[in-house]
Amino acid sequence: MPAVEWARDRVADLLKRLKRAYPDAKCALDHDSPLQLLVATILSAQCTDERVNKVTPDLFRRWNSAAAFAATDMAELEKAIQSTGFFRNKARSIKECCRDLVARHGGAVPKVLEELVQLRGVGRKTANVVLGNAYGIPGITVDTHVGRLSRRLGLTREEDPVKVEFELMERVPKKDWTLFSHLLIHHGRRVCGSRKPLCEGCTLLDLCPRVDVKNSA
């Protein structure tokens, strides 16, 4: 059986089991608009979703549009997001991204991946988060959990997130792209951790080709 077909068969089983294990899997970043999700996703780099969700309610009360973020004082924005880490770089990314939104899209967040990744501070991962969760447009988000589990489960050997994304796009039904990312993220956080995966009792154990726990990554 060709590798892609074999992987698709495996994905069907993975999806069935993960959907049963995590029926409420969804984006963990609180948001009420595409712009809020875009900003929250930028803040989530090297930071927990829980921490971001503590920061964003006040942040979005103070800055409620792309124009507001674009015109803000950098020192004020940095102070508001300081607890998320790397706050200077994140503040610059948010401000520059929102300047692009105002200049190119009238302050609206575009619904096209190619337009999203043209915004400063926005890569494919962030773009897919926004498309999948704000607009319902399928996209595979390759964070550390998705990359790690995809390799452990034999769905890819790639290390580069973009290459992983494109391989998963061939193996996962398009309608499930967004959900598949959420399911792997949930499983990675709760069961299949990077250092000490809880293999015993894992719902995917008999589907997982991973044998050497110490040396696998």
Q: Which residues of the chain form CATH 1.10.340.30? A: 34-134
Q: Give the per-residue pLDDT at 102.
A: 98
Beta-strand ranges (E) seen in 32-120 are none
What pLDDT digit, counting tens, does each position of 193-215 carry?
Answer: 998 899 988 999 998 886 444 43
Q: Which residues of the chain form CATH 1.10.1670.10? A: 3-26+148-207
Distances (CA, A) of 184 to 5, 112, 215: 20, 24, 21
Q: What stretches in the chain show pLDDT beneath 50?
A: 1, 211-217
The C-alpha atoms of residue 183 and residue 128 are separated, in whole angstroms, by: 15
Q: Give the per-residue pLDDT at 217.
A: 39
What pLDDT digit, counting tens, does each position of 153-185 carry?
Answer: 999 999 999 999 999 999 999 999 999 999 999
Secondary structure letter of residue 82 according to DSSP: G
Average pLDDT score over the chain: 93
Tokens of 20: 């049963």
pTM of the model: 0.91
CATH (residue range 34-134): 1.10.340.30
* Residues labelled as active-site residues: 125, 143
Q: Centre a 10 Å sphere on the Cβ of residue 21 and count the other Cβ atoms it contains.
A: 16
What's the full length of the chain, in residues? Answer: 217
CATH fold of 3-26+148-207 reads: Endonuclease Iii, domain 2 (1.10.1670)
Distances (CA, A) of 90 to 38, 53, 161: 12, 15, 21
